[in-house]
Amino acid sequence: MNDRERLLTLLNGDPPDRVPWFGDLDYWAAAMEHRGEVPANFRGSEAYFELHRELRVGFYLQGYWPFQTIYDDTVTVRDWQEGHDRYRSIHTPVGDLREKCTFLPESATEARTEHLIKSPEDLSVLRYIYEHTTYAPDYAEAERRRGLVEDIGVVLCYAPKSPLMQLVALDAGIEAVTDCVLAGEDEFRETLRVMEAKLNEAMDVALACPAECLMIPENLSSEVVGKRFFEDYMRACHEKWTARIREAGKFSFIHMDGTLRGLLAEEGSVGFTVLEALTPSPVGDLTISDMRELAGPDPIIWGGVPGIYFTPLVSDEAFDGLVREVLEVMRGEPRYVLGVADQVPPDGLRDRVQRVAALAEEYGQYR
């Protein structure tokens, strides 16, 4: 079997010839671009797919939303750059919001250092923005990838984040979200209702895109979102969206790249095909065996090799030992994909990435 056949066989509920190996190389490649080691826009080129072939890494993930966000003429968005800081301001008749993202050259990454939502008073502005937003198909990249992926993997597109995680991960942060809940839960629930009504429209567009897989890119960590917030504000949305993805004939993924013990059982029960980017101990808070026990028998568990293990901070012997240990569990039943948890980092070693395919072939045969 090739990588595409191996993964689609597993997703369809049948056993492939061995444990599939698929890695997220996007962050590693972005750092190479930043350092000038590869041409600009390397990740958008055919050479990026050839890199997967050379290293024998299955392709699935390179962040892409198959829809455009369109504001009506009452909403004005301005973007600008100041040094390493990237700003966005949104002007509406009921108020203005602003966010800032700061780029760190050393790690070739950026994060929000100023959120759109800073206090409960900003929620009314956010609701106005969503009420005056529409979504349009943007399928060209998915169609392009379909012609490039071929035998090495699948086409995966992003669905929208759930309303709660849009706020927690991007627009507000957990501190402001908690303040908003405590200031007035009725208004917070109304904000989530308005957001979900509109994000359902984005989901409509995503469901029609030419991709086999849709990921809800939650970046979920149970040390940030606990059981109460999950049950009160997320479960119903995840159950509805996974059902819709399934009805559309696609496979549903959730990106869970943080601590797992507090929410893995809950997410394992809502209908996702794949729980992705699961990080085991000693970096994460669960062993691979613990993950199956909590997630239940149905979802495919995808992950297993923490990103730091691809760096010089870990010895070759420790790297090989961990991959063999993970594969020993995964080869016990065809319900796993060996993957990076969650990305190969900027200082990842090429020979480590290439080494995984050989280990999967040698130690990934099902018992």
C-alpha–C-alpha distance, residues 293 and 234, integer Å:
22
Instruction: Give the model's pLDDT for residue 192.
Output: 98
SS3 call for 195: helix
Answer yes or no: is 104 within a domain: no
Answer yes or no: is 299 within a domain: yes
Answer yes or no: is 105 within a domain: no
Q: Indicate which CATH number applies to the domain containing 38.
A: 3.20.20.210
Instruction: Give the model's pLDDT for residue 62.
Output: 86
Answer yes or no: is 103 within a domain: no
Strands (E), the chain: 21-22, 67-71, 76-82, 85-92, 95-104, 109-114, 133-137, 156-158, 213-216, 251-255, 274-278, 300-306, 336-341
Instruction: Give the model's pLDDT for residue 13.
Output: 97
132 CB-near residues (< 8 Å, 6+ apart) = 71, 72, 74, 75, 92
Answer yes or no: is 93 within a domain: no
Answer yes or no: is 195 within a domain: yes
pLDDT in tens, the chain (367 residues): 999 999 999 999 999 999 999 999 999 999 999 999 999 999 999 999 999 999 999 999 988 999 999 999 999 999 999 999 999 999 999 999 999 999 999 999 999 999 999 999 999 999 999 999 999 999 999 999 999 999 999 999 999 999 999 999 999 999 999 999 999 999 999 999 999 999 999 999 999 999 999 999 999 999 999 999 999 999 999 999 999 999 999 999 999 999 999 999 999 999 999 999 999 999 999 999 999 999 999 999 999 999 999 999 999 999 999 999 999 999 999 999 999 999 999 999 999 999 999 999 999 999 9
Answer yes or no: is 233 within a domain: yes
Query: Phi then psi for 360, rounded to 5 degrees?
Result: -65, -40
- Exposed, middle or buried, 204 (CB in 10 Å: 0-12/13-18/19+)? middle
Which domain range does residue 340 map to? 3-73+117-363
C-alpha–C-alpha distance, residues 51 and 231, integer Å:
41
Question: Which amino acid type is present at position 259?
Answer: T
Task: Say if residues 331 and 298 touch (Cβ distance below 8 Å).
Answer: no
Answer yes or no: is 94 within a domain: no
Question: How are strands ordered across the β-sheet holding 76-82?
Answer: 76-82, 85-92, 95-104, 109-114
Instruction: Give the model's pLDDT for residue 20.
Output: 98
Q: What is the number of structural domains in the chain?
A: 1
133 CB-near residues (< 8 Å, 6+ apart) = 69, 70, 71, 72, 75, 198
Tell me which residue of 349, 344, 272 sits closest to 21, measured CA to CA: 344
